[in-house]
Amino acid sequence: MTSSRTLGSSDLSVSTLGIGCNAFGTRIDLEQTTAVVDAAFDHGVTFFDTADVYGKGRSEELLGAALAGRRDEVVIATKFGMDMEGVNGDDGGRRGSASYVRTAVEASLRRLGTDRIDLYQFHTPDPSTPMEETLGVLTELVAEGKVRAIGSSNLQAWQVVDASWISRTGELASFVTAQNEYSLYNRTAEVELVPACLELGVGILPYFPLAYGLLTGKYTRGEAAPEGTRLGAASQTSRLEGANWDRIEALQAFADARDISILELAIGGLAAQPAVASVIAGVTRPEQVADNVAAVSWTPTQDDLAELAGIGRPEQSYTTFAPR
């Protein structure tokens, strides 16, 4: 069973491990999706993260169907703002506009089969729409009860800070989470995003915590990817060829020295980092849910964290920021 945490400054309590639903409706069907959701319930996972753009709405539909009769037992996060290629109508390239956000939220509510979204996330910046407008309509949706809390995704640190300032000065709802790429392999978020979120009380929701699979233990320097694995696909060859094997092998050695798997290190070690609220890991099979729950239960000691800080951490990171 996994523990729980609060999402930033919100009142949303979620499991420390979240289920990434990007494969729902694209790589797995309703029967397989239901099996994954059932496994999540069996292991105490209560947090499901999807987006309208995943399968052009199909992920939301399958998640809603799999949760039928159990919706009140979970926290559902979804996102808006990426190109839906006309599924939500003509957006004019302004997917942060008030009119589009209202169209998008109604479509997501319908597909999910629910009357509210627990965490509604702005999926990517919209340079054509002022942030004041986006936050304004999100504030209205919170007041109307259609959304419980709001978050951002793929914003740079300065944009997270700017949005927070706009919310405070304009008396608008604030982003309580930031969902960005972050793993023990790719720690660039620690340069600016982590210290910004720590200062603002924003919870980080790391995606790609396994670095596209590089931190699963399936791959070895100089060897082809095993058949059927994610990085075995022709489109992923460059990720394997360009991987930082020195870093991967250092993490593997760290894990071996503690008699844990690199998967346990990748998920449990990331969950122990400052500001991390829940680690979102995409799955396609029930056994992956069990493996990830076991992994997040590994808790590093302070000595572990100190040693881990020397592997792949950017020189300019939150350790250089003195608390106020």
Domain CATH number, residue 49: 3.20.20.100
Characterise 61 by phi-psi region: left (phi > 0), alpha (psi -120 to 50), beta (else).
alpha
Residue-wise pLDDT for 23-36, tens only, equals 999 999 999 999 99
For a pLDDT cut of 90, what percent of the chain falls above it? Answer: 88
* Domains in the chain, number: 1
**Confidence at residue 236, expressed as pLDDT on a 0 to 100 scale:** 85
Is residue 163 in a domain?
yes
Report whether pLDDT(322) > 80: no
CA angle, residues 43, 154, 267, in degrees to nearest 5: 30
In a domain, 114, yes or no: yes
What is the domain range of residue 27? 4-212+266-299
Residue 9 forms part of a structural domain? yes
Average pLDDT, the chain: 95
237 in a structural domain: no
Q: Which of 203-212, 260-269, 306-315 has the lowest mean pLDDT?
A: 306-315
* HEC assignment per residue over 175-240: EEEEEEECCCCCCHHHCCHHHHHHHHCCEEEEECCCHHHCCCCCCCCCCCCCCCCHHHCHHHHHHH
Percent of the chain with pLDDT over 70: 97
Structure confidence by residue, pLDDT tens digits, 118-141: 999 999 999 999 999 999 999 999
Distance CA(20)–CA(1), nearest Å, equals 18
Distances (CA, A) of 143 to 13, 71, 139, 150, 274: 20, 21, 6, 12, 31
Q: Does residue 95 lie within any of the structural domains?
A: yes
Which pLDDT tens digit goes with each residue over 166-180? Answer: 999 999 999 999 999
Average pLDDT over residues 197-223: 95
Residue 219 CA to its chain's centroid (Å): 23
Under a CB-based contact definition with an 8 Å cutoff, are residues 282 and 288 in contact? no
Which residues carry out catalysis?
A: 54
154: left (phi over 0), alpha (psi -120 to 50) or beta: left
Cα gap 266→252, rounded to integer Å = 10
Domain-located, residue 21: yes
pLDDT of residue 317: 61
pLDDT digits (tens, 9 = 90+) for 78-87: 999 999 999 9
Q: What is the pLDDT of residue 87?
A: 94
In sequence order, the β-bridge partners of residue 276 are 204
Closest CA to 153 of 190, 188, 126: 126
Q: With 80 as the cut, is the pLDDT of residue 252 above it?
A: yes
Q: Residue 148 falls within a domain, yes or no? A: yes
Q: What is the pLDDT of residue 234?
A: 83
Domain annotation covers residue 261: no
